[in-house]
Amino acid sequence: MDKHSSRRPPVISIGILALISLACLFSEVIMTKDPSYLDLYNCNVAPNSEFLFGTDTLGRDIFSMIWYGGRISLFIGLLSTLISTVIAVVFGALSGMAPKWLDDILMRFTEILLSVPSLLLIVLLQAIFGDAGTLSIAVVIGLTGWISIAKIVRTEVRQLSGSRYIIASRCMGGSFFHILWRHLTPNFFPTIMFMIVMNIRSAIVAESTLSFMGIGLPIEVISWGSMLSLAQRAMLTGSYWIIVIPGVFLVLTIFCMTEIGNYLRKTSGRRASNL
Partner 1 sequence: MNANKSARKKRKYKDKALYYLKKLALFVISVFVLSIIVFWLSRLTPGDPLMAYYGERASQMGEAERAHALTRLGLDQPTLTQYIYWLKNAFEGDFGISYKYKQPVLSVIAGRLLNTALLGGISFVLMFILALLLGIFCIWHEDRLADKILCKVGTIISCIPEFWLSLVLILVFAVILHIAPSSGAYTIGHSGDVADRIRHLILPLIAVILSHLWYYTYMIRNKLAEEVREDYVLLAKAKGLSRRDIMFKHCIRGILPAYFSIMAISIPHVVGGTYIVEMLFSYPGIGTLSYEAAQLHDYNMLMVLCIITGVVVIFFNILSQIINERIDPRIKAREKTEEIYESLGENGGVING
Whichever of 6 and 49 has its CB closer to partner 1, that residue is 6
By CB under 8 A, residue 274 contacts partner 1: no
Q: According to the binding rule CB under 8 A, does residue 93 interact with partner 1? A: no
Q: Whose Cβ is closer to partner 1: residue 33's or residue 73's? A: 73
DSSP 112-174: HHHHS-HHHHHHHHHHHH-S--HHHHHHHHHHHS-HHHHHHHHHHHHHHTTSHHHHHHHHTT-
120 binds partner 1 (CB under 8 A): yes
Residue 158 interacts with partner 1 (CB under 8 A)?
yes
Give the sign of the dihedral formed by CA 116, CA 119, CA 120, CA 124: positive
Q: Does 24 bind partner 1 (CB under 8 A)?
A: no
**Which residue among 20, 62, 228, 230 contacts partner 1 (CB under 8 A)?**
228
**251 near partner 1, judged by CB under 8 A:** yes
Our finding on whether 162 is near partner 1 (CB under 8 A) is no
Does position 91 interact with partner 1 (CB under 8 A)? The reply is: no
Please give the C-alpha separations between residue 66 and each of 13, 75, 140, 180, 256, in angstroms, as whole numbers: 19, 14, 24, 40, 17
Does 125 bind partner 1 (CB under 8 A)? Our answer is: yes
Is residue 100 classed as helix, strand or coil in its secondary structure? helix
- DSSP-derived 3-state class of residue 61: strand
Residues in CB range of 68: below 8 A, 6 or more apart = 24, 27, 31, 35, 222
Distances (CA, A) of 160 to 13, 88, 155, 165, 237: 34, 17, 9, 9, 59
Among 191, 227, 245, 264, binds partner 1 (CB under 8 A): 191
Q: Which of 4, 7, 8, 164 contacts partner 1 by CB under 8 A?
A: 4
Site membership for partner 1, residue 102 (CB under 8 A)? no
Q: Looking at 38-46, 91-99, 166-174, 208-216, which segment touches partner 1 (CB under 8 A)? A: 208-216
Say which residues have a Cβ less than 8 Å from residue 30's Cβ, sequence separation at least 6. Answer: 23, 64, 67
Rounded Cα distance, 217 and 210, in Å: 8
Q: Give the binding site for partner 1 (CB under 8 A).
A: 1-4, 108, 111-112, 114-121, 123-125, 127-128, 130, 141, 144-145, 147-149, 151-152, 155-156, 158-159, 191, 195, 198-199, 201-203, 205-206, 208-209, 212-213, 215, 228, 231, 235, 238, 240, 243-244, 247, 250-251, 254-255, 258-259, 268-269, 272
